[in-house]
Amino acid sequence: MSSVDDLKVKIFADGADFQGIIRMYQEPRIKGFTTNPTLMRKAGITDYEAFARQVLAVVPDRPVSFEVFADDFDEMIAQARVIASWGKNINVKVPVTDTKGNFAGKVIRTLSSEGVVLNVTAVMTLAQVAAIADALAANAPAIVSVFAGRIADTGVDPVPHMKACLESLVARPQAELLWASPRELLNIFQADEIGCHIITVTNDVLAKLNLVGRDLIDYSRETVQMFHRDAAASGFSIRTPARAA
């Protein structure tokens, strides 16, 4: 395994905790930021635009993705235009389909042709990636977020799947493949190894970066020490037979 400093994949921090975003902005390894309505709701955010502008004030020079939340394609386009106007470093997230499963090709084609930098999200299948590539304007910068973690949750190995997704984007050289919803730190190295352009990672996984390269013998001993310490702190006891003298 290579070191963190050798990684070519760009790491984006994923979340809606404002203080966490500030902390991650101080980390030069973090090259961008993503969020979504679900994460914002969990963080208790009620004013979408106010939060977005607050984030952009502290992250003025790295990509930040904010997502439309309409379910009508024309309204998605209208929302995307407004969101894009908030800052030059914004990637506008649009879902690959509406809630009924209809492909958002109209949204992608319209906004891409207007120069809006899109982050097409909630992508799962190779057919979806191919359709997105076809809808994007030639040489238009964009991000295609394939939810590798959710794919893995279904029992499918995401590594060959993501390799195939990369191949589907060859005709769109300015479109970057993003490994979304990683479940463990290892996914960063897997994404890097196959040539994925970006991986978006939550703060709890990013916190494990200092474990990369740890000596496993030391890590094993520390784990045993943790078990012993917590058993003692809990006051656990088991009566065992007296040992013979």
Question: Is residue 100 among the annotated active site residues?
Answer: no
Residue 35 lies inside a defined structural domain of this protein: yes
- pTM confidence score: 0.92
Residue 162 lies inside a defined structural domain of this protein: yes
Q: What is the CATH number of the domain that holds 53?
A: 3.20.20.70
Tens of pLDDT, residue by residue over 19-45, are: 999 999 999 999 999 999 999 999 999
Q: What is the mean pLDDT of the chain?
A: 96
Residue 228 lies inside a defined structural domain of this protein: no
Residue 231 lies inside a defined structural domain of this protein: no
Residue 2 has pLDDT above 90, yes or no: no
Band (1; pLDDT cuts 50, 70, 90): low
Q: What is the pLDDT of residue 244?
A: 73
Looking at per-residue confidence, does 135 or 207 come out higher? 135
Residue 119 lies inside a defined structural domain of this protein: yes
Residue 218 lies inside a defined structural domain of this protein: no
Number of domains composing the chain: 1
Residue 219 lies inside a defined structural domain of this protein: no
Q: What is the pLDDT of residue 242?
A: 85
Domain interval for residue 41:
4-211
Work out the burial of residue 54: count CB atoms within 10 Å of its CB; fewer than 13 is exposed, 13-18 middle, 19 or more buried. Answer: middle
Tens of pLDDT, residue by residue over 43-86, are: 999 999 999 999 999 999 999 999 999 999 999 999 999 999 99
- Out of 31, 88, 93, 208, which one is annotated catalytic? 93
Tens of pLDDT, residue by residue over 180-204, are: 999 999 999 999 999 999 999 998 9
Residue 42 lies inside a defined structural domain of this protein: yes
